[in-house]
Structure 1
Amino acid sequence: MLEARNLWKRYGDKVVLEQINLKVKEGEFITLVGASGCGKSTFLKMLLGTETLSSGELLLDGQPIPAEPGADRGIVFQQYSVFPHMTVLQNVMAAKGFQRPGLTGWLFGAAKRQARDEAMVMLREVGLENAHSLYPAELSGGMRQRLAIAQALLGKPRILLLDEPFGALDPGIRADMHELVLRLWREHQLTVFMVTHDLKEGFYLGTRLWVFDKTRHDPQAPHAYGASITYDLAVGNTDHRTFEKIDQSVTLTEKETDKLYEIN
């Protein structure tokens, strides 16, 4: 379904990602971990189409991924991507309207009724049916993330992109969201890419875990080299020593990583 061939991403003289080579089958749940600033979210944005690669190839079904977001790729961010002036129902219906041609995305007549019916079905799936008339400010953090997921799924995407969607949630709510995402992944037969800083979360949710890290370092030019995928693990096949090594690298910030290699 997805393939990257010698993918590189640079911002001016700063190399963020280098030599990314991978293949992903439809239906996999990929979790992405790594130190802060190592390019995980940048890679997610390239999948979405809001960032372009500097060199190499990123292919979806054998064709270059379009350089703009599309209905086949839905995304949920850590910061709730909802419209504060709209009700829960209106927010989800808006996701349907944005798929229509034209500048406004307004829905009328039969199209509006159909969008409302589909939105209510999706709200029922994520447990927000009884909150459809509330505004985002009246929702808890977990409910707002449920709303963002409903928005992303209403367009029936093949690929769901999750950029640290549960990082700001309390542990109990986070556990509920884990179960929700796993259920929706199976029911909608999605291919999921999820960025997380929580290694245990990555192993719990994913069928496959990628670790982004730098393999080359220059103390005199810390941005001369970018991160690549240093581990590509099938979940359930990781020994404890490897887990601890990955966990230590994930908790480092980009600045701490550069300093560590400068000292060594």
Structure 2
Amino acid sequence: MSTLLSLRDVWVEYGDKVVLERVNLDIAAGSFVSIIGPSGAGKSSLLRVILGQEVPTRGSILLDGTPLTPECGPDRGVVFQRYSVFPHLTVLRNTMFGLECEQAPLAARLFGARRRAARAEAEEMLDAVGLSDSLHLYPAQMSGGMQQRLAIAQALIKRPRVLLLDEPFGALDPGIRADMHTLITRLWTEYGLTIIMVTHDIREAFSLGTRVLTMDKRRRDPHAPHRFGATAVYDLPLTRRPAPPVAVDESITLDGIGNN
């Protein structure tokens, strides 16, 4: 597979605190990269610089050989652990909102044929995530699993090339989590996505991923722990496609080994 995303000598620093240092990665198109590591290892910071929420202090990030713009672009979608949905909008309007902002950035509202086309596209996406019967519900009327399906629909409606997942299933019950594993695996295949997922669950990382990265610090100074950042200390390519999702064992976590 060809390289889609490249990180070259990426550093993230906040004042005198080094969070990431010397991160060098090539991520192939169509891969599913799971990122694990202890608390404070910069996993979420890595996602933020890829997303464009933060600019690396040093280094560069390339998409198809072109430097990424320092803002969240339509080529990258994101799903967080806490559902990033608009409580005052219905399921359908939540999903249409990204298209409306893109096509009508001032009014964030479409009319006529453009609105009908956006609605049809949103309905198709909601059907893909299993919410076709919930178009007119509000988030407060939905379960956590349904809200996370909605967040995934929001992220995919603009057809991103890279989908970033930041502990997306951590707040869900084990049974619902297993259903979400099945869903994200199907969407990854059907939409030809490249996925980068942060998780504390080792079983989840290996069952979903085609590659597992461990972020941690190579160097530590007990007198100045903030002066060394994390990087990819292990990089394990998996030679198989992801196994069928299994029920989550909540006792298997990296931190606890803890939470980021």
- Normalised to the residue count of structure 1, the TM-score between the two structures is 0.90
Does structure 1 residue 251 correspond to structure 2 residue 256? yes
Which structure has greater helix proportion? Answer: 1
For the residue of structure 1 that corresponds to 2:227, the secondary structure is coil
CA distance in 2 between partners of 1:2 and 1:147 (Å): 26
Identity %: 54
Matched, 1:18 2:21: yes
- Paired residues, number: 246
Q: Give the Cα separation in 2 of the matches to 1:144 and 1:210.
A: 28
Report the Cα distance in structure 1 between the residues aligned to 2:176 and 2:205, rounded to whole angstroms: 17
Residue of structure 1 in register with 2:172 after alignment: 169
Residue 57 of structure 1 and its aligned partner are, at CA, apart by 1.5
Distance 1:76 1:97, change over 3 A: same
Q: Is the 8 A contact 2:87 2:138 kept in 1?
A: yes
State the Cα deviation string for residues 62-107 of structure 1 (Å, max 9, x = none): 1111100111111111110000001100100112112225333211
Question: Relative to structure 1, is the Cα distance of residues 254 and 8 closer, same or farther in structure 2, using a 3 angstrom cutoff?
Answer: farther
- Which letter maps to 2:221? D
Q: Does 1:186 pair with 2:189?
A: yes
Corresponding position: 1:72 with 2:75:
yes
The aligned counterpart of 1:202 is 205
Question: Out of 143, 147, 160, which is 1:144 matched to?
Answer: 147
Q: What pairs up with 1:2-81 in 2 under 5 angstroms?
A: 2-81=5-84
Q: Give the distance between the partners of 1:51 and 1:104, measured in 2 at CA.
A: 27
Q: Give the Cα separation in 2 of the matches to 1:64 and 1:54.
A: 15
Relative distance call for 1:248 and 1:254 in structure 2 (3 A) is closer
Aligned equivalents of 1:126, 1:141: Cα separation in 2: 14
**For residues 82 and 45 of structure 1, do their structure 2 counterparts lie closer, same or farther at Cα, with a shift above 3 Å needed?**
same
Cα distance, 1:52 vs. partner?
Answer: 0.5
Choose the corresponding residue for 1:225, options 201, 208, 228: 228
The RMSD of aligned alpha carbons is 1.7
Distance in 2, matches of 1:104 and 1:47, equals 29
> What is the identity, as a one-letter code, of the residue corresponding to 2:85?
V
TM-score, length-scaled by structure 2: 0.91
Contact 2:200 2:259 in 1 (8 A): no
Corresponding residue number in structure 2 for 1:104? 107
CA contact (8 A) 1:197 1:251 kept: no
Q: Helix, strand or coil for the counterpart of 1:223?
A: helix
Q: Secondary structure at the match of 1:129?
A: coil
AA matched with 1:127: G
Cα distance in 2 for residues equivalent to 1:147 and 1:117: 16
**Distance in 1 (alpha carbons) for counterparts of 2:239 and 2:62:** 28
Structure 2 partner of 1:258: none
